[in-house]
Every structure is written in structure tokens, then in C-alpha cells.
Amino acid sequence: MQSIGERLEEARKRKGISLREAAEATKIRSDFLGYIEQNQMDFDLPELYKRGFLKNYARYLKLDVEKIMTDYTAQQLGNSRLGKKGGAEWFGQMEVKKAESEESADRAESEEQAPYGRIAAKPAQREDAQANEEEEADKTFYMKIGLIFAGTLALVFVVFGLIWAILGSGGSDETELSPELRDSSEITQAADTTTPQAIDANSVTLVASGNVYVLVRQQSDDKELYRKTMSAGETVTLQKDGAVDILFTAGENILIETGGERLRPSTSGTAKITIQ
């Protein structure tokens, strides 16, 4: 059966990835990755970091992370038991020698076994503590991801709400038109930069004297007739069927021709008007 390191090394080579490339992708030093692939997990780092490196490396190579971590835990427990067994044999040899030289071997053995038993229990406790720390770290990571997602979703709703408030109907956004063309040389100058077009009752012409964003929507069927940022001197004539709503961002930069009149919004800035 392949060891954990052999499985990782085989998966990496099968994908044609070098240790250096894997180190750059996982942000784990290449010598640590080499130790892991050689099953030399005794490098000088806390066990929590070793488990984190192993989990990230397995996830990067698209292996079964849960299977890798289960096998690693079993491997560590097996090594721990082997270590304790070897220690017991060594202490057993010492006790045999003591029995040959001292009559009180039984008493010495009972006094020494108790503290060693307590020491043997500590590695298992550390394993449990490290597993709990790793679980808490995973929970914290997923909580952060959830908070970021919730914040992003809330921001999207706010942005769409603002856009809907601007584009939606409402008397508070409407402004009156003032027929200033007959007395305004400024408007005449803006209109002279464009070619006159035939205007009838079912058309509306927009003339820009500066940069202005314009949205024209027909009320009868909510059809969007025009949406664009117009530049100075640009003119567009639209055919309409009934009343239309015109939304603009710079009222001082737009002139509206309809029904034989040239009209300019009475206010500057963003507003919405209705043309019958």
C-alpha cells in the first residue's frame, strides 16, 4: 500500500508539476513539501502547521483530503504506540537487571510505572487539542467567507436600490420645462451646431450642449427608446407613441425639441421630465 508521501508525489508528477511550482501555488516552502513526500514528518515545526501543510497540499493536488488526514492521524498514532512499546521494552530490561541485583525490584517497578503512564497519556491529549484547534480554525475561515458574501450581497442590493430610485417614476424627480428658446441666444447657439430636422407631434429631438447621460422611456409600453451619454453638439431625433419620460444627469447641457418648440429644463443636475 502506498504511503501518504508516495500518493502526494505520484499525484504531483502525474500533473506535471515541479516542487517549486507547487511551493509557489500553496505558499509552502519546497523543502517542507519534499519532507512530506518522503514521509519525513519530523521537521522542526508544531504539529498544527504540519497538518495544515498536508491538508493544503492534498487539496492543491485534488486528492481526497479527508482520506489523507485520516491516514495521517492513524500513522501518527501508530508511531506513538511503537515509541511507547519500545520504551516499555527498554524499561523492562532495566527492571530485569535490577531484579538480579536488588531484592526490592517489585517496589521500584511500581513506583516508576505510574509517572511513565501519565507521561504516555500526554501525546494523545495534545493530538485532541490540535484537532480542536484545527476545527476552530476551519470554522473561523468559513465564518469570514460567509460575512464577506453577506456584505457583498448587501452592497449589490443597495446599488440596485439606488439605480431603481433614479430610474423609477415619481413626482419628486420631475422638473418643469421652460420655453426659453425664443429669448435665449445661448440655446440658439447650441442648436445652430446641428442640422435642422423635420419635427412632428410624434417625435422628440435631443440636442446636447455638453456631456449628459440621457434615458428615454415610452410610458404606454415601458419601451426604452434611447440610452446613451451624449457629447457636446450631438443630436438625436426619436419617434414616440404618446407620452415619454426623459431622465438626464445634467439639465444645463440638454435642449429638447418637441411640437415645434425648443425647451430647456429649468434646473441643472439630474432630473426627470415627461413629454406628452
Check whether residue 183 and residue 129 sit in a common domain.
no
Predicted pLDDT at 156: 82
Check whether residue 33 and residue 135 sit in a common domain.
yes
Check whether residue 187 and residue 109 sit in a common domain.
no
In three-state secondary structure terms, 272 is strand
Check whether residue 44 and residue 105 sit in a common domain.
yes
Predicted pLDDT at 83: 60
Check whether residue 127 and residue 204 sit in a common domain.
no
Supply the range of the domain harboring residue 37. 4-139
Q: Please identify, among 139, 164, 188, the residue that sits at the C-terminal boundary of a domain.
A: 139
What is the pLDDT tens value at each position of the chain, 276 positions in all? 788 999 999 999 999 999 999 999 999 999 999 999 999 988 889 999 999 999 999 999 999 999 999 999 988 888 777 665 554 443 444 443 444 444 444 554 444 444 433 334 344 455 566 667 777 777 788 888 888 988 888 888 877 777 766 665 444 444 444 443 333 334 333 334 444 444 577 899 999 999 999 999 999 999 999 999 999 999 999 999 889 999 899 999 999 998 888 888 887 889 999 998
Contacts with 87 (C-beta within 8 Å, 6 or more apart), sequence order: 116
For the chain, the domain total comes to: 2
Predicted pLDDT at 88: 44
CATH number at residue 79: 1.10.260.40
Predicted pLDDT at 211: 94
How far apart, in Å, are the Cα atoms of 263 and each of 49, 139, 167, 241?
73, 63, 22, 20
Predicted pLDDT at 195: 44
Domain for residue 167, yes or no?
no
Predicted pLDDT at 41: 87
203: which strand partners?
Answer: 239
CATH number at residue 176: 2.60.40
How far apart, in Å, are the Cα atoms of 36 and each of 45, 51, 53, 119, 171?
12, 10, 9, 28, 70
How far apart, in Å, are the Cα atoms of 161 and each of 3, 138, 154, 166, 169?
57, 35, 10, 9, 13
Asked whether the beta carbons of 58 and 8 are under 8 A apart, the reply is: yes
CA 231 to chain centre: 37
Predicted pLDDT at 165: 65
